[in-house]
Structure 1
């Protein structure tokens, strides 16, 4: 009798799995569509901010998870003011950073004094540590920029990972030991430990998990000699992806793995 019951349940089990898969796919598609709509709105908001501030020559474009500002300014001061106008417009509507739609504003406006290779782009944040190509923020002093560069170079040597769905550190303690040494060496500057997740699951839960993981890393660094008041832990959840993973299915997909990370950056004084 037991065998008969099992055979009768199989069609329902298969139907349930099929429905679950369809719902997951639909959820990912809806998420990707909503993100695209909001990202386009952020671009429009930045462009409106440029126009209202009198920088009609500049153009706002989406570049991955960022808004990039392009154009040609007459001076370096005008260049900075242009990009700041776009960022101010986005911040006014809480569209940049946390909680936001886009990760940051990347200033690609060109002005006299930029190098011959056209490498004028920089992040408008306070030394974002997510990309090896990122140029430390001009708001940082020379000493702070040197510490930021050392943090970035050290972070490239490994990766901090956690037990699935948990703030418990699984791998990366040798890396954190080296980060702690940099923190001690750069004790005059505050360091942000930023926790990031992928877009899988509930956004609020991801935000909470990223904060708990950042807190765990902060505690580890303090245990290795960093000053408690120096290390600032912040969880950003899924709001600052390195790559767009809204349409990606599968928790172990490489794109989602890129977005699950811990970053270190010097904060502007």
Structure 2
């Protein structure tokens, strides 16, 4: 059984954001995630969650000014106060929306010297350590995610080993790794062995999937998600798997019609249509 969460920033984009909750619920999802809920009226988001019975399982803390090129604040000198405000705001929003996880983006590091890069990493650790303390008190888990440099050039955190080293160094139960298999395949490959290495540690708190290289539905591309998801199940991972992909059909209803990729999964990953006792999706 898979706990699949629809990423509402990537799926159902033919609809206004607030209408995507109903569309996801209608397709059988029990959980959703999104990038930046602060861009929308929080009361309306809460109402959509309540009316559909969906659980918001993950969102991103404010990353700075996205339009001006910010991709997170944690490693940026001179932005320490902005970062801490973003964490305070995100944790309060997570509590109000009953969301257990918040992704904290690291930021871009295009420093020309090794010394400046080392300073950025030291600041990143310092800021995350503070943030993890706040998250523990709030009862929320912070996530850090390696992101590939093709999609986001200069992003500080690119390797799974780097992310796990950060989590181990900080040593907080409120800090885990968000393992996006699309990014992992692009940067490192060897996804099966990475799953076998890291899932048993308990440091992976959230998975995300998409086809490689086009980031479309996982039923196509160079990664066999039948194999990958069987491995995830075999390893005993019971957390959420975010569907952070770009539907190949861009016309109205394209997300829903594209969910036929789930029909390719073997019976061991599916059950009769409907929801399980835990409220996770069994089959679509």
Q: TM-score range by the shorter chain?
A: 0.3 to 0.5
TM-score by length of 2: 0.33
Bigger Cα Rg = 1
Larger relative CO (CA 8 A, sep 6+): 1 or 2?
Answer: 2
TM-score by length of 1: 0.35
